[in-house]
Structure 1
Amino acid sequence: MRSLTEEQIRASFVNGSADELRLLTVPHDFPLVEWDHQDFYAWRDPRTRGRGYLVTEVDGEPRGIVLRASEGSSQARAAMCNLCHTMQPADQVSLFSARKAGRAGEHGDSIGTYICADLSCHENVRLAAPLAPNEVRASVDMRIDGTRRRTEAFVGRVLETAGSRT
């Protein structure tokens, strides 16, 4: 991923209201991000409970989405993140929703998916952790590519409005 400034990050959001973007807080370690090693950039807002942000490149341009984590808890013992395909204890995976961009989002349309609760998918695919039962470990490069593709596809679904992209 190419290097981004805080201003570029703020300008990349396609589904955030003016108030949400005004309240956006970048992580304190933002100046230390090694962009060459990022497939996408995601973080939980330290000041706003339940809010997260994800920025990735779509068609060569940075596109960011505002995420909301559900507040419910799962009765499951384990869950899989739909971005990094990592099995985790259920309390470490949350249902995140994102308001769609454009008119669809203005009318309340949103989509959701299960994502690592701390939005650490980027790091999780690089860990050489022990396998969970029935988990097949692909090569790290394949896991990184798959996570990037699934992340771009999720952001692409947020961008879809009435059959066209915004």
Structure 2
Amino acid sequence: MRSLTEQDIRNSFINCSKGEAKRLAIPRDLGERPWDDLDFLGWRDPGAPDRSYLVVERADRLVGVALRFPSSQRGFLHRSMCSLCLTTHPGNGVSLMTARKAGAAGREGNSVGVYMCTDLACSLYVRGKKVPEAGGRFQESLTEEEQIARMMANLSAFLDKLGT
């Protein structure tokens, strides 16, 4: 992924108002992100523990999505799998992320959900740059490139449901 500026990010959101996009918390470490290892930019809002955001390049444009997830705690013995990168995590390492649909459907309250790594570090897990706490990745016969393609296809299917 190419490196992004704060303005790139704010202009990319499809499921919130321009005012909401202007007020959301942008990561302060954009210059330090491992852009070459990222397929999308994802972060949690430090001021709103139930909100996360992701920005992805799609058809030569940026698409930003505001996500919400429940703050309920799961037991450490509970394990879940991210539906994008297929990484397993204990406890709250995977969350059901919901996003309002784009346009009129979103204004009417329609949303779509997907189980994702709570820290949105799927790109790093697939590349082995980050290891989940007491979780793991299955040994696969797919190459890293094929796993990345599958992850992006899964993300694309989620974005298609949002109406992007």
- The TM tier, using the shorter chain, reads 0.7 to 0.9
Which residue of 151, 154, 157 corresponds with 1:147? 151
Q: Is the 8 A contact 1:81 1:93 kept in 2?
A: yes
Q: Deviations over 1:107-163 (max 9, x none)?
A: 000001111111111111111869x799342322222221122122212221x2xxx
Aligned to 1:100: 101
Alpha-carbon distance change, 19 to 48 in structure 1, aligned in 2, over 3 angstroms: farther
Aligned to 2:120: 119
Counting only pairs closer than 5 Å after superposition, residues 75-86 of structure 1 correspond to structure 2 as: 77-86=78-87
Distance 1:53 1:37 in 2: 18
Q: Deviations over 1:35-92 (max 9, x none)?
A: 3332111110112221111111121111000000112344672110011111111321
Counting only pairs closer than 5 Å after superposition, residues 46-61 of structure 1 correspond to structure 2 as: 46-61=46-61
Compute the TM-score of the two structures, normalised by the length of structure 2.
0.85
Distance 2:151 2:52 in 1: 18
SS of alignment partner, residue 83 of structure 2: coil
Quick one: which amino acid aligns to residue 118 of structure 1? Answer: D
Aligned to 2:8: 8
SS of alignment partner, residue 52 of structure 1: strand
Q: Is the 8 A contact 2:82 2:115 kept in 1?
A: yes
Distance 2:37 2:121 in 1: 14
Distance 1:117 1:134 in 2: 16
Quick one: which amino acid aligns to residue 135 of structure 1? Answer: F
Shift of residue 18 of structure 1?
A: 3.9
Alignment: residue pair count? 159
CA RMSD of aligned residues (A): 2.4
Q: Is the 8 A contact 2:25 2:45 kept in 1?
A: yes
Which sits farther off after the overlay, 20-29 or 91-100?
20-29
Unaligned runs of 5+ in 1: none
Shift of residue 102 of structure 1?
A: 0.1
Q: Does 1:23 align with 2:26?
A: no
Distance 1:89 1:52 in 2: 19
Q: Is the 8 A contact 1:58 1:156 kept in 2?
A: no
Q: Is the 8 A contact 1:56 1:151 kept in 2?
A: no
